[in-house]
Amino acid sequence: MTEHRDRIADLANRAQADRKSFDPPENPPDEERAVSILRSGVGDVVSVYVEGRTGEFVRFDEWEMTRLEQALNDWLALYARCYGHEIETEFTVREVAELVVKTHNIHDTVQLLTRIPSPEIRRARR
């Protein structure tokens, strides 16, 4: 158990509540909502993980990692639904965090991992 346990529990509870209460957009995409999910959901999960892994290295226990990854994948599924896609995600916090560190951009990271929106659509919107 780490000092991050309460924060992880809060994230897991928030993600589960968000998933249960989510109403998909009538006319996807809802990019504003998708970005909000990335920042206040996926970003928070990555932040806890990175904080624990930098400085005084923390070893998250199985309970903590399971909840972090469930929260992450819940929010990634909601992100996809903002674009009109139903996906089952099984990403690890580590792979997402490492890619965020490389890209310096959570939206680019998630787009690369989920392929949502497709690279062609994303380029056309820029």
Look at residue 94 in the predicted model and tell me its pLDDT: 95
> What is the C-alpha separation between 89 and 112, in angstroms, rounded?
13
Q: Is the pLDDT of residue 124 over 60?
A: no
> What is the C-alpha separation between 52 and 59, in angstroms, rounded?
8
Q: How is residue 8 written in tokens? A: 């992880």
pLDDT per position as a tens digit, 12-65: 999 999 999 999 999 999 999 999 999 999 999 999 999 998 877 788 999 999
For the chain, give every domain's residue range: 4-124
Does pTM top 0.95 for this prediction?
A: no
> What is the C-alpha separation between 100 and 106, in angstroms, rounded?
6
Sequence-separated (6 or more) residues with CB below 8 Å from residue 27: none
pLDDT band at 71 (very low <50, low <70, confident <90, very high): very high
Sequence-separated (6 or more) residues with CB below 8 Å from residue 31: 82, 83
